[in-house]
A and B are shown apart, each in its own frame.
Chain A
Amino acid sequence: QKEVEQDPGPLSVPEGAIVSLNCTYSNSAFQYFMWYRQYSRKGPELLMYTYSSGNKEDGRFTAQVDKSSKYISLFIRDSQPSDSATYLCAMRMGLANAGGTSYGKLTFGQGTILTVHP
Chain B
Amino acid sequence: SAVISQKPSRDICQRGTSLTIQCQVDSQVTMMFWYRQQPGQSLTLIATANQGSEATYESGFVIDKFPISRPNLTFSTLTVSNMSPEDSSIYLCSVALSVVLFFGEGSRLTVL
**What residues of chain A have their CB less than 8 Å away from a CB belonging to chain B?**
4, 6, 32, 34, 36, 41-46, 49, 88, 90, 92, 95, 102-106, 108-111
**What residues of chain B have their CB less than 8 Å away from a CB belonging to chain A?**
1, 4, 31, 33, 40-45, 48, 56, 58, 92, 94, 96, 99-106, 108
A-B contact count (CB 8 A): 61
| Cβ contact of A32, chosen from B99, B105, B108, cutoff 8 A | B99
Query: What B residues does A103 contact at CB under 8 A?
Result: 31, 48, 96
Give A4 to B41 CA distance when docked, in angstroms. Answer: 12
Q: List, sorted by A's number, 20 A–B pairs whose CB atoms are closer than 8 Å.
A: A6-B42, A34-B100, A42-B105, A43-B103, A43-B104, A44-B103, A46-B102, A49-B99, A49-B100, A90-B43, A92-B99, A102-B33, A103-B31, A104-B48, A104-B96, A105-B45, A106-B43, A106-B45, A106-B101, A110-B41
| A104 and B41 contacting across the interface, CB-CB below 8 Å | no
| A88 and B42 contacting across the interface, CB-CB below 8 Å | yes
| A108 and B43 contacting across the interface, CB-CB below 8 Å | yes
Please indicate which of the listed interface residues B42, B94, B96 has the most CB atoms of chain A within 10 Å of its own CB.
B42
| B42 and A104 contacting across the interface, CB-CB below 8 Å | no
Query: What B residues does A41 contact at CB under 8 A?
Result: 106, 108
Closest B residue by C-beta to A92: B99
Query: What A residues does B94 contact at CB under 8 A?
Result: 104
Give A4 to B42 CA distance when docked, in angstroms. Answer: 10
| A44 and B43 contacting across the interface, CB-CB below 8 Å | yes
A43-B92, A44-B103, A46-B1 known; A102+B48 contact, CB < 8 A: yes
Query: What A residues does B106 contact at CB under 8 A?
Result: 41-43
Min CB gap A58→B, angstroms:
14
